[in-house]
Amino acid sequence: MRPLVFALSTMLVLAGLVSACSDDDPVASSADAGSDGATDAGRTTEAGHDGHDSGAVDPGPRPIRCTDEELAENDMTDGGALVVTFLKTANPKQYENRCATVKVGASVTFTGSFTQHPLQAAGGDLPNPIPYTAEDQPDDKLVVTMTTPGTFGYECEFHPTLMFGAIRVVP
Ligand SMILES: [Cu+2]
């Protein structure tokens, strides 16, 4: 008999915990909304989270998604022309030559379908010379002249987790 009572009371306690938890959130958030102090505290906490609720909060500077090694591996500082290629079809595929180093004054050619894969700046130094480009270009080529030193990230607007790179520009 005692084990049964124990089991029943355990279930009741667990059920109470579950319902208490599910009840807590709405109560807490409406309390937050009604109190300036609590709302401010909530915002401070949100700002400390990376990614969570970032839609409403400025996430701050974004990191470059090329390592120093990757940038150095594709070294075009001898004057070679950097061509970054991507597909003309909708299929998301990583940029080729996605990480590279060039000299100030170098022209970088992005080539592929910009309507299928809109190009946009993504992280690194500012201002980023890589312009937002969502329309197809003559010969599918966009030429960007790198006029200032820095490391400049870019990505596909539609597939930012699959298509991304960076160009380091050295004096
Ligand atoms: Cu894409």
CA–centroid distance, residue 116 to ligand 1 (Å):
6
Looking only at the bridges linking them, the beta strands covering 99-103 and 107-111 are unpaired
Residue 101: predicted pLDDT: 98
Q: Do residues 92 and 16 both lie within one domain? A: no
Q: Do residues 83 and 22 both lie within one domain? A: no
Coil, strand or helix at 30: helix
CA–centroid distance, residue 170 to ligand 1 (Å):
28
Closest CA to 163 of 128, 131, 124, 116: 116
> What's this model's pTM, rounded to 2 decimal places?
0.66
CA–centroid distance, residue 20 to ligand 1 (Å):
45
Asked whether residue 153 is assigned to any structural domain, the reply reads yes
Q: Do residues 164 and 112 both lie within one domain? A: yes
Q: Do residues 37 and 100 both lie within one domain? A: no
Asked whether residue 62 is assigned to any structural domain, the reply reads no
CA–centroid distance, residue 162 to ligand 1 (Å):
7
Residue 61: predicted pLDDT: 72
DSSP for 126-168 reads SS-----B-S--GGGEEEEE--S-EEEEEEESS-TTTSEEEEE
**Contact between 17 and 7 (Cβ < 8 Å):** no
Q: Do residues 90 and 155 both lie within one domain? A: yes
Q: Do residues 83 and 164 both lie within one domain? A: yes
Phi first, then psi: give them for residue 31, nearest 5 degrees: -65, -40
**Which sign does the torsion angle of CA 32, 35, 41, 42 carry?**
positive
Residue 162: predicted pLDDT: 98
Domain count, the chain: 2
Residue 80: predicted pLDDT: 86
Q: Do residues 96 and 137 both lie within one domain? A: yes
Which structural domain, as residue segments, surrounds residue 7?
A: 2-48
Averaged pLDDT, groups of 10, the chain, 171 residues long: 41 39 40 40 39 59 93 94 97 98 97 98 96 97 98 98 98 96
Q: Do residues 32 and 100 both lie within one domain? A: no
Q: Do residues 6 and 39 both lie within one domain? A: yes
Residue 138: predicted pLDDT: 97
CA–centroid distance, residue 164 to ligand 1 (Å):
9
CA–centroid distance, residue 125 to ligand 1 (Å):
22
Residue 59: predicted pLDDT: 65
Asked whether residue 88 is assigned to any structural domain, the reply reads yes
CA–centroid distance, residue 93 to ligand 1 (Å):
7
Q: Do residues 18 and 88 both lie within one domain? A: no
Asked whether residue 161 is assigned to any structural domain, the reply reads yes
